[in-house]
Amino acid sequence: MNPSVIETFGCLLGLARTTKPRGIDLCRAVQALSTKISVGILLWTRLARMLSPIFISKRERKQPLEVRIRLTKLVFSRLSNIAVVGVAGLMSGIYAYVRDHETFVFAVAAAGFSFVMVRCSGIKILQLRIAQGARFDPELWTVFYGLTACCSSVCWGVVSFTCLAFSHDPVLYLVSVVCNTATAGAVAARNAGTPRTAQLQLLTSLVPVMAGAVLTDDIGYCFLVLVVPALIFGLMVVVAEIYKQLIDLYSSQIKLVELSNTDYLTQIPNRRYFGECCDDVLGPFAILMIDVDYFKGYNDFYGHPEGDRCLQRIAALLQSSLRASDSVVSRYGGEEFAVLLRNTSAAAAATTAQRLCNAIRDDAIPYLNRKDQLDRVTISVGVAARKTEQITCDRIIRAADAALYRAKTQGRNRVCVEAVA
């Protein structure tokens, strides 16, 4: 054998022997890191649950989940405001250090600025998750925001108290008071979506100003003992009023969306909402097109009020027979219903459709004088499923509609499946 080939083979074998342990070590390092991250997330979740009564009031907890999600998005929407407040607090610490060599004040201001930067990082992460359409727990993120916000407010309060009580510098007095009162106003306006956090921030940033004013050399600042409590009370009233207006606004918006997406008669989603769900669904799914058999004759025989009650009963049966998390039942028009089944194959959808047929038939809604001599209301179902995302939703709907037409021509009260290539 050629010596160069032998040398090459030997080099490759040696490389494999040295690479394999490194690969194993890398895998172990990645596993150890993922374990630590999982443990950290678990610990933070437990800590947040423990701290949530501090930062979330009972009134906030009573709000609907969708309202709380919208309030959280509002609080986490404006990054620049928080950064400006953090820079202003840091600059006051730098000014105190340059003017009076207040090392402690500078260190506390830097700590407050670091809490602001942590909060900004969290805001950026949540904004990215919202942009990706990911769901999130508003309680955990509200606790994160409240914890970092209150820690930074405590730092600004300590800075103001130290400057007023120990600096002996009138200019530094003015800078600390102006920065804290301006920050308090910004907190009241910006964080009204989390009123408990806003109230804690107002107390932790303004009460130290009142306490430091008593110890300052300039007796003129003693008026702050009277002004600060009035300011705190006024800003808390502002926070409560803004929060009430936000609750009313978001509740009205959610109610309006629900009304626009809900069928008035059956109180299930309408065709518009069904189309939006079909456009948003990812991966495989199936669609069932459902038609009530001989419904025109039912209306003619029993009258339209009884026909309306029949449709309401069928809608309730369809919804109760399916899991809400995996399906959307909607009234598609007239006596026609449509069902979206997420992550469902054609075979599984056909089984579900047959179960729906049986449920309506077994409920035995009376239908005398029916053309085919059956004595009850039944439905026909057309089924079509998508395996890949290259197939459009409109194509699946047309296929399911074709299957429904075939089920009706074959005698009704049955399920037909349309294959989609």
Banded pLDDT at 415 (limits 50, 70, 90): very high
200: helix, strand or coil: helix
Please name the residues in contact with 55: beta carbons below 8 A apart, sequence gap of 6 or more. Answer: 142, 143, 145, 146, 147, 150, 194, 196, 197, 200
CA atoms within 13 A on the CB side of 204: 19
Q: d(Cα 115, Cα 112) in Å, to the nearest integer?
A: 5
Q: d(Cα 27, Cα 48) in Å, to the nearest integer?
A: 31
The answer to whether residues 308 and 295 touch, using CB atoms and an 8 Å cutoff, is: no
Banded pLDDT at 24 (limits 50, 70, 90): low
State residue 45's pLDDT score: 84
Mind listing the pLDDT tens digit for each residue in 302-326? Answer: 999 999 999 999 999 999 999 877 8
Region 286-304: mean pLDDT is: 94
Is CATH 3.90.1640.30 correct for 271-417? no
Please name the residues in contact with 394: beta carbons below 8 A apart, sequence gap of 6 or more. Answer: none
Q: At which residue do the structure tokens 């005398």 appear?
A: 368
Q: How many CB atoms lie within 10 A of CB 401?
A: 19
Length of the chain as a residue count? 421
Please give the residue that has the higher pLDDT: either 172 or 269. Answer: 269
Banded pLDDT at 169 (limits 50, 70, 90): confident
Burial of 32 (0-12, 13-18, 19+ CB in 10 A): exposed
Q: Indicate the domain borders of the chain.
A: 3-39, 59-260, 271-417
Q: Any idea of the CA torsion for 291, 292, 293, 295, to the nearest 10 degrees?
A: -120
**Hey, what amino acid is at 89?**
G
Q: How many CB atoms lie within 10 A of CB 249?
A: 12
State residue 20's pLDDT score: 46
What pTM did the predictor assign?
Answer: 0.73
Region 356-370: mean pLDDT is: 93
The answer to whether residues 78 and 127 touch, using CB atoms and an 8 Å cutoff, is: no
Q: How many CB atoms lie within 10 A of CB 305?
A: 9
The answer to whether residues 181 and 206 touch, using CB atoms and an 8 Å cutoff, is: yes
Banded pLDDT at 216 (limits 50, 70, 90): confident
Mind listing the pLDDT tens digit for each residue in 270-281? Answer: 999 999 999 888
Q: What is the chain's Cα-based Rg?
A: 33
| pLDDT, averaged across the chain | 86
Q: How many CB atoms lie within 10 A of CB 71?
A: 22
Q: How many CB atoms lie within 10 A of CB 345?
A: 15
pLDDT at 363 over 70: yes
Burial of 92 (0-12, 13-18, 19+ CB in 10 A): buried
Q: d(Cα 165, Cα 185) in Å, to the nearest integer?
A: 23
333: helix, strand or coil: strand
Please give the residue that has the higher pLDDT: either 59 or 31. Answer: 59
The answer to whether residues 356 and 316 touch, using CB atoms and an 8 Å cutoff, is: no
Region 286-297: mean pLDDT is: 95
Mind listing the pLDDT tens digit for each residue in 391-414? Answer: 889 999 999 999 999 999 999 999
Portion of the chain with pLDDT greater than 90, in percent: 52
